Amino acid sequence: MSYETITVEQRPEPHGAVTLITLNRPQALNALNSQVLEDLIAAFGAYEADPGQLCAVLTGAGDKAFAAGADIKEMADKPAADFYLDDFFARWTSHLVKAVRKPWIAAVNGFALGGGCELAMMADFIIASEKAKFGQPEIKLGVAPGMGGSQRLTRAVGKAKAMEMCLTGRMMDAAEAERSGLVARVVSHESLLDEALRTAAAIAAMPPMAAIANKEMVNAAFETTLDQGLIVERRIFQILAASEDKAEGMAAFIEKREGQWKGR
């Protein structure tokens, strides 16, 4: 399948097949317009449906930006009623977060601003280049985050930094983002894609049910109380205990060999 605004490759990394999705509007710093959303929905849908793929990486083309935000030129003349009636931005979360049970990583290679920062935060985790910059500068446009920035950024870095960033539009550099818990790891700019693909391949080599289950459990921590989250964790653990891959994984450990996963 070919796309207008992104590229998609299935990469046969040494330890597991990985889907690499690249935002490809470098002349507009990969700004997120409606076509990007349609393309990402199709690409993530295909990734989710492909039993041969267990981890994806999303990055931005060019040296400068992961994504500099929702496309301001597309939004500038849009009437407020259209934003409301279309429930503008709702499909990002429903199709890229809720509908994708398999893991995916954002490899942030430069500016991740506004919707770009919000898109990165939809990933299961972020690996950042040392040149990455994160921000929610929407206030300077007379608006506010619309794809989860006020909620996901606050959960990731806490109220003080999230409030300061939303109210001033200040950007956070990669080192501060790592210190604050927004990104899992910062790597050199040159090694970003290799590191992200290597990490994705390591995940892709895991027993598939366990990978999906681990993601589901951690996400439950954002949606529930501690007591309910602990119940979710135990129930999922108990379901995994009945899987063929659990029997294989434990046997492989005892027999000092690599596990051969069935995905069941």
For ligand HXC, the binding residues (CB under 6 A) are 28-29, 31, 68-73, 111, 113-115, 137-138, 141, 143, 146
Look up 9 and say whether it is catalytic: no
Phi (first) and psi of residue 128, to 5 degrees: -120, 145
Catalytic residue among 70, 112, 174, 204: 70
| Nearest to ligand HXC of 141, 163 (CB atom) | 141
Alpha carbon distance, N-terminus to C-terminus of the chain: 29
How many CA atoms lie less than 13 Å away from 48 in the CB half-sphere?
15
Nearer to ligand HXC, 143 or 156 (CB): 143
- What is the side-by-side strand order in the sheet with 125-129? 6-13, 16-23, 55-60, 104-108, 125-129, 185-187
115 noted as active-site residue: yes
Residue with Cβ nearer ligand HXC (71 or 124) = 71
Q: Of 69, 110, 115, 259, which one is the catalytic site residue?
A: 115
**Identity of the residue numbered 76:** A
**Least distance from C-beta 109 to ligand HXC, angstroms?**
13
Interatomic CA distance for residues 258 and 81, integer angstroms: 57
**Nearer of residues 18 and 36 to ligand HXC, judged by Cβ:** 36
What is the sign of the dihedral through the CA atoms of 26, 136, 40 and 196?
A: positive
> Given 13, 138, 178, 195, which residue is catalytic?
138
d(CA 191, CA 31): 24
Question: Would you list the DSSP string of 70-139?
Answer: B-HHHHTT--HHHHHHTTTTHHHHIIIIIT--S-EEEEE-SEEETHHHHHHHHSSEEEEETT-EEE-GGG
Q: How far is CA 192 from CA 20, 58, 105, 196, 226, in A?
A: 13, 12, 12, 6, 35
Nearer to ligand HXC, 72 or 252 (CB): 72
Our answer to whether residue 70 is catalytic in this structure is yes
Q: Is 176 tagged catalytic?
A: no
Minimum Å distance from CB 128 to ligand HXC? Answer: 16
Please identify the residue of the shown chain whose CB is closest to the bound ligand HXC. 114
Please list the active-site residues: 70, 115, 118, 138
